[in-house]
Amino acid sequence: MPNTTRGASKTTTTTGIGGSKSTEDASMRQAKANANQRPPSSPPRSGMEEAPAADSPSVPGEVARELAKLYALILEKSDSHDKKLEEIRITTCATESKLVDIASRISNVEGRLGFLEDAQERLEANPPATSKEVEVLREKLDDVENRERRCNLRFVGFPESCENNDAVAFLEGIIPTLFDIDFAKGLEIDRAHRLGAMPRRQDGDQSTRPRAIIARFLRFQDRECIAEAARKKGNVIWGGRRIMVFPDYSRMLNEKRAKFKDCKKLLHDKNIRFSLNYPAVLVVKTAQGPMRFEDHKRAMSFIHSLN
């Protein structure tokens, strides 16, 4: 027994060693086969690691140059933006100033509009007279003024100072004889005086026109009698001077009557009878009867049509 066991163990040991060697040989053969089947070997790894190392000194310089260019561009853009911002700021300040001025003007306009609105409300509450109403009032006032003057007459031609500062007594004494009028109740004048300021006479000048004398008669009938006598006599001479008598009208009425001046001249030339009645009505006496005209243009057209 002991001998058999010892031999078996030896055999086992030998067999184990032989198996181990055969295994190693198989591994080596497989490795060689795998080596023969590999693709061509690539450059050694150490070479790949050394290539970047050779270029690494130039990379920081290029980056620095690019960064410098980028910084310069940023500065340029920044300066440009600063200028534009300054222009915007100036424009904004000017706009703000204009807005303040506009706001002040608007406030002023609002104040004026408020005043006008208040004035409009007052006018609506108490409306003024229209132009037509004003014209009517003017005509009425002018009529009242002329009615107040209806007892007056103007005497033109009496030399200055001939009345000896008493025009009433002078006219009361001279009118009856000058116009050949016999006043049943006697001539009574309420008041009389010269019109206007005393004219200044230059040295050696004797041609200064004397001022007219205006007289207000106590009775309207006496005034009408004197005016009619003056029309009938035509030329009235006193002291070598021609004395003319005119009614006393307002300026507005005198202007209306003066518009018929050319009409009267043409009627005189054609020897046609007429009269200019109060207030300003031209009456032309024709064979068909009297024709009344308040418009001087229509009167002139009618006179031209007469033979």
In this model, does residue 43 exceed pLDDT 60? no
> Which one is predicted more confidently, 5 or 154?
154
Residue 69 has what pLDDT?
A: 85
pTM above 0.75, yes or no: no
Tell me how far CA of residue 20 lies from CA of 23, 28, 29, 122, in angstroms.
5, 13, 15, 135
pLDDT tens for 273-298 read 999 998 999 999 998 899 999 999 99
Residue 204 has what pLDDT?
A: 53
Residue 30 has what pLDDT?
A: 57
CB-facing half-sphere around the CA of 120: CA atoms within 13 A: 6
The candidate with the shortest Cα–Cα distance to 194, out of 170, 220, 230, is 170
**Which residue carries 């049943």 as its tokens?**
184
pLDDT tens for 183-236 read 999 999 999 999 988 877 665 555 578 999 999 999 999 999 999 999 999 899
Across 21-35, 44-58, 131-145, least confident range: 44-58
